[in-house]
Amino acid sequence: IGIDLGTTYCCVAVYQNQEVEVIPNLIGENSTLSHVAFSDDDIIVGDTAKEKAYLNPQDTIYDVKRMCGRHFDEEKIQRLRKYWPFTIVKGEDGKIQIKVQNKYLPPEQVHGNTDSFEGISRYVFG
């Protein structure tokens, strides 16, 4: 199984019988929007997360791949953060930390969080 976590979209594919097959998500699309919304009891991904972002914009995270490995003070990050409804702060190491509910997490953890993969898996596989 392969998971492509892109900046804008992600997709899941399997290699079997010498062919790669992209697995459609629950709504039949071959890719899923790279938005993750965190709530107290659930993780929502894709278009549904984006559609519900108005209810919880501060905990609906996107553009995570743009933040991975970056420092908070970089000009590009400072320019982009003006457009994000969620909060980012400077970590002790100078890198970005994203506020998710009441925690601060590095982008790599938000991007590769086990719960996020679980959410993506639930969205793709049901």
For the chain, first and last CA: distance in Å? Answer: 16
pLDDT of residue 75: 98
The Cα–Cα gap between 90 and 79 comes to 15
pLDDT at 112: 59
Task: Set out the domains of the chain in order of their start, with CATH numbers.
Answer: 2-125 (3.30.420.40)
pTM for this prediction: 0.78
What amino acid is encoded at 115 in this protein?
D
3-state secondary structure of 45: strand
Tell me the pLDDT tens digit for each residue of 43-64: 888 888 899 899 999 999 999 9
Alpha helices in the chain (DSSP H): 46-51, 64-67, 75-81, 107-112, 114-125
Residue 92 has pLDDT above 90, yes or no: yes
Residue 87 pLDDT greater than 70, yes or no: yes
Q: How far apart are the C-alpha atoms of 69 and 78, rounded to whole Å?
A: 15
The helix/strand/coil state of 33 is: strand
Helices (H) and strands (E) in the chain, counts: 5, 10
C-alpha pair distances (Å), 9 with each of 16, 20, 41, 78:
23, 18, 24, 23
